[in-house]
């Protein structure tokens, strides 16, 4: 009988994060000041982030030590299991081997606490009292609220209005950890008030919520801002996923040919894939890494690779990334975590270097894959994670057609227990495919900042 689960002990929890910047064949384009269009320095970011995190953002070290209190907190749920999807393989009748790294075992049900915990730790160490942040579907807000409770920090969450209304239990979860949650756009900030003045029914977006959270942090001395994806230090923290998986594949006496992750801002994909891509860049086995986005918010496959703002209110520095345009408001798909106009600069850069592949998937096909996964493997995936499931199933079916046995590994970034409304709509045929407006996209891309 084949082994199903590969578990590491607490003692085997990796002691280092992996920093892919150290192995890049071409350096990452610099982050620019929006006014001067010149590269920014660490001091420019210090109103928003503590210095330890800023230094991680620009570090060239290959391995960065995980502080002991962070490892202690990780032990609440880590190491996370690597599971062979034997039932799914049988159902698909594929010669491929399918593994998934399951991040839904965290207290809040996704990979997000992997970075929330170290971010809270470094902020606490720097004497910060309060963190502000944005959240889409609520996964990040609840993760930071949990981390705030672990390290004794106040947390204020701006939650995208559509999700605030669709996902009341995420809201209650954030509050259970003692954090504050406000529907965004809100009356609490200039950015929010400006938007509501022109459009009182604005459904909100991650870009808007980021502006609100950044504004509060920038205007209060004891408050800093925390971002759940996109930035280098966030992807760095998430490499705990891939570092564990490297050890687990050693246990399994196997190694992936294909690595798959869904991408909103790129953090679970990067965290899972980068340690393997790093091995490849240093002369190890060649793998194919596939980033799977929503066809309703296709930054990697339809966006421009250009300098853009991280937020809608244009308070952040300019980063070079695949972007739909910071003024683009993505349609209200259920995979709220995939509704972001941009993509992590690191993921974008790897795509430009052809070190990863990107594809976009439709909402309905993804839910169909999610249901098949639930029926075979038992876990109901978060709507975001169904995108990775869909791509993994397609690769396994390709193997069947070609008669090849590849090893496919995907990141199951979270469970869908707070997303059952979406599943209910799917099961009652009330869910459709959602298209973005090409017109809105063109308009948003015309408004990209001009950088020489
Ligand atoms: C937030 C989230 C995502 C998308 O974010 P990334 O930074 O791209 O990983 C994907 N899956 C789940 C379960 C999430 O909560």
User: Which residue minimizes the CA distance to atom 5 of ligand 1?
Assistant: 264
- Which numbered atom of ligand 1 lies nearest the CA of 228? 7
More confident residue, 313 or 224: 224
CA of 18 to the centre of ligand 1 (A): 19
Among 198-207, 249-258, 289-298, whose mean pLDDT is lowest?
198-207
**Within a domain: residue 400?**
yes
pLDDT for the residue numbered 87: 98
Write down the pLDDT at residue 95: 98
Q: Is the pLDDT of residue 311 over 90?
A: no
The answer to whether the beta carbons of residues 225 and 234 sit under 8 Å apart is no
Confidence tier at 234 by pLDDT (50, 70, 90) = very high
- Which residue segment(s) compose the domain that 431 sits in? 5-11+67-109+233-446
Give the Å distance between the CA of 412 and the centre of ligand 1.
Answer: 10
418: domain CATH number is: 3.40.50.1100
Average confidence score pLDDT of the chain: 95
What number of CA atoms fall less than 13 Å from residue 31's CA on the CB side? 19
pTM, two decimals, is 0.97
Does residue 374 lie within any of the structural domains?
yes
Burial of 3 (0-12, 13-18, 19+ CB in 10 A): exposed
CB 158 within 8 A of CB 182: yes
Q: Is the pLDDT of residue 365 over 90?
A: yes
Q: Which residues are within 8 A (CB) of 354 and not within 5 positions of it... i.e. 6 or more apart?
A: none
pLDDT at position 292, please?
98
- Using the atom order of ligand 1, give the atom closest to the CA of residue 229: 7
Distance 335 CA to ligand 1 centre (A): 9
- 59-73 per-position pLDDT tens digit: 999 999 999 999 999
Residue from 101, 105, 112, 333 whose mutation best tests the ligand 1 pocket (most atoms within 8 A of CB) = 112
pLDDT band, residue 334 (cuts 50/70/90): confident
Query: What is the Cα Rg of the chain in Å?
Result: 20
Query: What digits encode the pLDDT tens for the residues 336-352?
Result: 889 889 999 999 999 99
Ligand 1 centre to CA of 384 (Å) is: 6
How far apart are alpha carbons 403 and 408 in whole angstroms?
Answer: 14
The predicted-structure confidence for 130-145, as pLDDT tens digits, reads as follows 999 999 889 999 999 9
Domain contains 188: no
Q: Is the peptide bond before 32 cis (omega within 30 degrees of 0)?
A: no
Q: CA 421, CA 167: separation in Å to the nearest integer?
A: 8
Could you tell me how far CA 385 lies from the centroid of its own chain? Answer: 10
Residue 142, domain member (yes or no): no
Distance, CA of 58 to CA of 224 (rounded, Å): 19
- Confidence at residue 331, expressed as pLDDT on a 0 to 100 scale: 86
Token pair belonging to 344: 């992590």
Q: Burial level of 221, CB count in 10 A (0-12/13-18/19+)?
A: exposed
The residue contributing the CA closest to ligand 1 atom 3 is 337
> Cα separation of 60 and 343, whole Å?
21
Give the tens place of pLDDT for each residue, 132-191: 999 988 999 999 999 999 999 999 999 999 889 888 899 999 999 999 999 999 999 999
Tens of pLDDT, residues 426-442 = 999 998 888 888 898 99
Per-residue pLDDT of 394-433, as tens digits, reads 999 999 999 999 999 999 999 999 999 999 999 999 988 8
Per-residue pLDDT at 452 exceeds 80? no
What is the pLDDT confidence band of residue 33, given thresholds at 50, 70 and 90? very high
Q: Is residue 417 part of a domain?
A: yes
Is 92 inside a domain boundary? yes
Q: What is the predicted pLDDT for the residue at 119?
A: 98
310 contact partners, CB below 8 Å, separation of at least 6: 207, 210, 227, 230, 316, 317, 319, 326, 342
Q: What is the DSSP letter of 106?
A: S
Domains in the chain, number: 1
> How far is Cα 397 from Cα 94, in angstroms, rounded to an integer?
6
Query: What percent of the chain shows pLDDT beyond 70?
Result: 100
> Residue range 242-251: average pLDDT?
98
In whole angstroms, how far apart are CA 221 and each of 49, 145, 224, 250, 282? Answer: 11, 20, 8, 47, 43
Residue at 137 is within a domain: no
The confidence score (pLDDT) of residue 306 equals 96
**Protein residues whose CB sits closer than 6 Å to any atom of ligand 1:** 110, 112, 139-140, 229, 262-269, 337-338, 382, 384-385, 413-414
pLDDT at 288: 98
Residues 6+ apart with CB under 8 A from 113: 77, 106, 107, 143, 146, 147
The C-alpha atoms of residue 164 and residue 159 are separated, in whole angstroms, by 6
Long-range Cβ pairs for the range 370-376 (8 Å, 24+): 370/416, 370/423, 371/423, 371/426, 371/427, 372/88, 372/91, 373/85, 373/88, 375/91, 376/85, 376/87, 376/88, 376/90, 376/91
Transcribe 164-187 into DSSP letters.
HHH-HHHHHHHHHTT-EEEEES-S
| pLDDT reported for residue 377 | 98
Does a structural domain hold residue 212?
no
Does the pLDDT value for residue 291 go beyond 90?
A: yes
Residue 337 Cα, ligand 1 centroid: separation in angstroms? 5
Measured in whole angstroms, the distance separating CA 147 from the mean position of its chain's CA atoms is 17
Read off the pLDDT of residues 73-105 as tens digits, 9 standing for 90 and up: 999 999 999 999 999 999 999 999 999 999 999
Q: What is the mean pLDDT of residues 222-251?
A: 97
Instruction: Return the pLDDT at 332.
Output: 80
- Report the residue among 134, 264, 386, 417 best suited for mutation to probe ligand 1: largest number of ligand atoms under 8 A from its CB: 264
Bridge partner list, 160: 184
Task: Indicate which atom in ligand 1 lies nearest the CA of residue 234.
Answer: 7
Over residues 4-30, the mean pLDDT reads 97
Label residue 330 by pLDDT band (50, 70, 90). confident
Instruction: Report the C-alpha gap between 62 and 64 in whole angstroms.
Output: 7
Q: Residue 168: its pLDDT value, please?
A: 87
The backbone torsions φ and ψ at residue 155, rounded to the nearest 5 degrees and listed phi first, read: -130, 130
Ligand 1 atom 13: residue of nearest CA:
414
Name residue 361's beta-bridge partners.
Answer: 294
Give yes or no for residue 318 having a pLDDT over 80.
Answer: yes
């Amino acid at each position: 009988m084949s082994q199903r689960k590969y578990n590491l002990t607490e003692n085997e929890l990796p002691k280092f994060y992996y920093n892919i910047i150290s192995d890049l064949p071409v350096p990452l384009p610099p982050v620019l000041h929006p006014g001067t269009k010149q590269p920014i320095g660490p001091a420019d970011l210090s109103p928003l982030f503590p210095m330890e995190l800023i230094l991680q953002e620009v570090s060239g070290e290959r391995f960065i030590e995980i502080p002991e209190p962070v490892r202690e907190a990780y032990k609440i749920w880590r190491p996370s299991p690597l599971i062979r999807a034997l039932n799914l393989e049988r159902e698909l009748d594929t010669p491929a081997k399918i593994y998934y790294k399951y991040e839904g075992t965290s207290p809040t049900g996704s990979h997000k606490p992997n970075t929330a915990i170290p971010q809270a730790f470094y902020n606490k160490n720097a004497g910060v009292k309060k963190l502000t942040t944005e959240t889409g579907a609520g996964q990040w807000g609840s993760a930071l609220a949990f981390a705030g409770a672990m390290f004794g920090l106040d947390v204020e969450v701006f939650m995208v209005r559509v999700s605030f209304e669709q996902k009341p239990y995420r809201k209650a979860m954030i509050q259970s950890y003692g954090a504050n949650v406000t529907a965004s756009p809100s009356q609490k900030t200039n950015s929010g008030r400006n938007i509501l003045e022109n459009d009182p029914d604005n459904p909100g977006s991650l870009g808007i919520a980021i502006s609100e959270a950044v504004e509060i942090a920038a205007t209060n001395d004891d408050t800093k801002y925390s971002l759940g994806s996109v930035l280098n230090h966030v992807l760095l923290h998430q490499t705990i996923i891939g570092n564990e998986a490297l050890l687990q594949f050693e246990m399994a006496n196997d190694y992936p040919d294909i690595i798959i992750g869904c991408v909103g801002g790129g953090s679970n994909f990067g965290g899972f894939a980068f340690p393997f891509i790093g091995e490849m860049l240093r002369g190890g086995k060649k793998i194919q890494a596939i980033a799977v986005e929503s066809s309703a918010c296709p930054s990697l496959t339809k966006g421009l690779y250009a300098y853009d703002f991280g937020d809608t209110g244009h308070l952040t520095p300019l980063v070079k990334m695949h972007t739909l345009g910071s003024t683009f408001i993505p349609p209200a798909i259920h995979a709220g975590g995939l509704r972001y106009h941009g993509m992590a600069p690191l993921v974008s850069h790897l795509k430009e270097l052809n070190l990863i592949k990107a594809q976009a998937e439709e909402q309905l096909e993804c839910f169909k894959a999610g249901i098949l996964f639930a029926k075979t493997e038992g876990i109901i995936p978060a709507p975001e994670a169904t995108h990775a499931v869909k791509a993994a199933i397609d690769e396994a079916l390709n193997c069947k057609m070609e008669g090849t046995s590849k090893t496919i590994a995907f990141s199951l970034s979270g469970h869908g227990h707070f997303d059952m409304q979406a599943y209910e709509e799917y099961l009652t045929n009330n869910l459709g495919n959602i298209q973005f407006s090409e017109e809105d996209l063109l308009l948003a891309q015309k408004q990209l900042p001009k950088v020489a």
